[in-house]
A and B are shown apart, each in its own frame.
Chain A
Amino acid sequence: MSFHKPTFAHPELPINKVGYRKKDYEGVISTLCAGCGHDSISASIVQACYEIDLEPHKLAKMSGIGCSSKTPAYFLSNSHGFNSVHGRMPSVTTGANLANKDLTYLGVSGDGDSASIGMGQFVHVARRNLNMTYILMNNGCYGLTKGQDSATADLGSISKSGSENPFQGIDLVGLALELGASFVARSFSGDKSQLVPLIKAALAHPGFAFIDVISPCVTFNNNKGSTKSYDYVRQHIEATSEFDFVPKEQPIKVEYSEGTGKSVTLFDGSTIYLDKLSNNWDPTDRYSAINRIQEGKKKGEIVTGLLYINPESQELHKLLNTVDTPLNKLTEKDLYPGDGILDRINDTFR
């Protein structure tokens, strides 16, 4: 069942540039467990879309199967949604994007959906640099089937039943970097101040933007010894940098002390600001990002923030050289090869 929120809104609530209130970006009432990290991520998605003045109907919500993949019902009710099959969200998003390059594509997946059955599609959507935002709601377990370890569960992490995970955990951030993903970030569902600007930047990024969001499962993986519990993440989180995203045509509000920050201008004129860069890490340098993550891992840190961005990103449509008009707008007039052509083709077979 789905439960709808009341549509009443206070008339004085602020309206964004495209004429929508924040409420207009919400969805139906969540049926996830109370305190689920995923609900916080949904709230951040609502906030980010509102703040970057995205018209809700020009975004398509895509998902696979699992707790995470149910969330698109809980945000952006005025957007079309596609809740696909397990691990196959990337392929459906690829097709949708090929059909209409003008929409914004927001894919939501979980660690069960992406790091196991969906691993193949994750890998290939990253290497094709499909223009989409891919949010991984990562809780290290299979919530819907009652808490089995997922492939991102860390080695040695202890499950609710007390068993220790004997297998290596897969780090999709490291993998995304290896694959040449053009935007890679990690965040925490409990850190909205970091997550919202990251989602905004990801939505604006022309190419594959991956955000791994650690999102504790309150019911099955929030126990002592779990490396994806609220407590553990709060104790081990290490932000690479303060982060802000400024869409184009918006006045720059953030100020950084000289010499410590960095700004990255995106294709569309938007800007990303990062504070506190360490000497050996530069977010536009893939190799330094890989090193930073490995160093963090050694120290037991969960490194968050924008880890890598390729400002020169060439998304799939550029690589395929498709026309500016979305393919789904082409009609008989655009597609008919022309009078006499078929006769000429017939002749080549005589």
Chain B
Amino acid sequence: MPSSRINDLVIRFANVNGTGSASANGLFAKAIFRMGIPVSPKNIFPSNIQGLPTWYEVRVNEKGYLARKDGIDVLVGVNPQTLRRDIDSISSGGYFVYDSSKKLHEEYYRDDVTMLGIPMMKISMDHYEVPRHQQLFKNIIYLGAIAALLDVELEVIKELIAEQFATKEKLIPPNYKALDLGYEYAQNSFECPLKVRVERRDLIGDKILIEGNEATALGTIYGGATVLTWYPITPSTSIAKAFESYAKKFRIDSATGKNKFAIVQAEDELAAIGMVLGGTWNGARSFTATSGAGISLMNEFIGYAYYAEVPCFLINVQRGGPSTGMPTRTQQGDVLFCAYASHGDTRHILLFPSTPTECFEMGALGLDLADRFQTVVFMMSDLDLGMNEHLTEPLHWDKNRKYDRGKVLSAKDFEDPDLEWARYLDVDGDGITYRTIPATHPTKGSYFTRGSSHNEYARYSESGEDYVRLVDRIARKIDTAKKHVPGAELYQKISSSPLGMIFYGTTTYAAIEAMDIFESNGIAIDSMRIRGFPFDEDVVKFIQEHETVFVVEQNKDGQMRTLLINELEINPAVLVPILNYNGYPISAYNINTQIDQHLSINNLMKEVL
């Protein structure tokens, strides 16, 4: 018999994409959120518009663990293409909720899984006439049944439906009807609720449930971006979409109705980044959002921006690479690539958000840093963070905050007779030089921006000395950025264990859970989350304080580990890679298993020796 569990479950909806299931599934996750219970939904979708399998996995956990979890307690299987796989994926003792309009083949039955057949399509056809409606309401019918089975408050779902259709009120009653039909069928046919169920709590506080890309777009809006140039690519496209929708709400001049922004869908990523450079060179905050394949195309301009020192903020919502790779799966696979993108010696500022709240903050910060350091800044989001809703702190903006436009000279500055200006002359000793925006002054401040070697006066130069002075100064400038990128987050006041764990971005969710599991098993592991590159002193110190440091990340080659070894000259033996690169968000179980394995092998070695 399944053991009884409240507010600790994983439910997976197996659907066919393009059938309207996303809306019903989203309602489920939102209802859990409204019931005050921490929830974490993840879309596992195909690179396709209609007809292929898609899954929506929701973890409900009142302790607040929001990483993807291995093992499925309840599976709602309405995709005949994947029935076998779906049934096999259920944990022993779990439940399979399926459409019994057609009889389920005997061979699909599992003794250790409770099979709950609901004639979803039949009920829908009995009550709705239009075929498209029959399909859509079937989704709401299973949602109603799940509400009964898991004890989700029906009123909460109804409230959400009413909000969703606030402007199309006539759609509310048929949706309510479908919901009730499913609910009643389950109530009448099964013992409801199941042993695995939910129960109202008050654990959400003022948190919000938002996708990282949505928050990123808001960050760039608040950060003062006025030019967005982009090219469609999963999983970054929704940033452009959200930017446009917020700009249309908050960036229209009330007197004229004209736009205080410009968005251009470029012909490709080569053009998208070229436009960003033109925009920032000319003094407007500009940015683009893309994914790894787009960054590959942008490399030439990335080197240009680094060398000619043109501010450039790039948002990389990482997906599985290389090449087209796994376009709808998540990965942290572009870390090394972005740190040193383009030919020649380059090094770029990286920001690693792990929550939508940080996407918002870094979306604005990235624009500041690009202007401050007149260089390329990457925000390294990923598909999991960008395209899934996450429970996160509300977004906050200090209304008195000013944009940091960096060292930009005005016409007034040029009136100072003592001003000795040259575009690439380092007068402050921090490697950052003063720039001018075109048309600043009629006779002073113009210069020629070029990707070829140049001297302090921005003039073409083939002198080796000029070249060395320039690249060394730029390197010094990027070093200065160490103190300005978000610092590492430490999860303990002082290091107390010989074991350490480093992680970043979305790996954080599973890493924190893994850390707690170890602790409950009596193994203490100190932890640190990296939030920016170049690395600050805390990162060095943390590694030095531990005998072994596990570097947990979602790529095959242990890219952050390599970056740490290369940048900080760490002994590779100290850094143990803990990796997950199958495209699904990493789980705590995965981390625990790999670290356990490492520890037991090491113990064994010690015994042998």
Binding site for B on A (CB under 8 A): 1-2, 55-58, 60, 62, 72-73, 77-85, 88, 90-100, 102-103, 120-121, 123-124, 128, 317, 320-324, 326-328, 330, 332, 334-339, 341-343, 345-346, 349-350
Contact = CB atoms under 8 A, between A and B. Distances in A.
Given A91-B278, A120-B267, A328-B437, A349 B448 contact: no
Contacts of B222: 336-337, 342
B224 A332 contact: yes
A324 B258 contact: yes
Interface residues of B, number: 77
Contacts of B214: 349
A90 B229 CA distance: 13
Contact of B282 (A56, A58, A60, A321): A60
A57 B461 CA distance: 24
23 contacts: A1-B460, A1-B462, A56-B446, A57-B440, A72-B448, A80-B438, A80-B449, A84-B274, A85-B301, A97-B278, A99-B278, A99-B284, A100-B439, A103-B282, A128-B264, A320-B262, A327-B226, A327-B262, A330-B260, A332-B401, A339-B399, A342-B218, A345-B218
Interface stretch (B54-62, B389-397, B467-475): B389-397
B472 to A, nearest CB: 22
Nearest to B267: A124
Given A58-B439, A96-B281, A81 B448 contact: yes
A321 to B, nearest CB: 5
Contacts of B394: 343, 346
A60 B462 contact: no
Contacts of A99: 226-227, 278-284, 286
B566 interface: no
A91 B275 contact: yes
B281 A82 contact: yes
Interface stretch (B71-79, B118-126, B249-257, B543-551): B249-257
Given A96-B438, A336-B222, 12 more contacts: A60-B438, A80-B439, A81-B446, A83-B451, A88-B300, A94-B229, A95-B279, A99-B279, A102-B439, A320-B259, A332-B402, A349-B209
Nearest to A329: B283
Given A85-B300, A120-B268, A346 B250 contact: no
Interface in B422-447: 436-443, 446-447
B304 interface: yes
B208 interface: yes
A92 B281 contact: yes
A84 B268 contact: no
Nearest to B214: A349
Contacts of A58: 439
Contact of B277 (A73, A92, A128, A345): A92
A82 B267 contact: no
A96 B249 CA distance: 25
Given A2-B459, A94-B271, A321 B277 contact: no
A55 B438 CA distance: 12
Contact of A98 (B249, B262, B438, B448): B262
Given A103-B438, A323-B259, A92 B446 contact: no
A335 B224 contact: yes
A279 B91 CA distance: 84
A335 B253 CA distance: 10
B438 A121 contact: no
B301 A88 contact: yes
B274 A92 contact: yes
B275 A94 contact: yes
B266 interface: yes
A338 B271 CA distance: 33
Given A57-B442, A98-B284, A328-B284, A81 B268 contact: no
Nearest to A3: B459
Contacts of A55: 442
A338 B33 CA distance: 28
Given A91-B271, A324-B258, A338 B250 contact: yes
A121 B209 contact: no
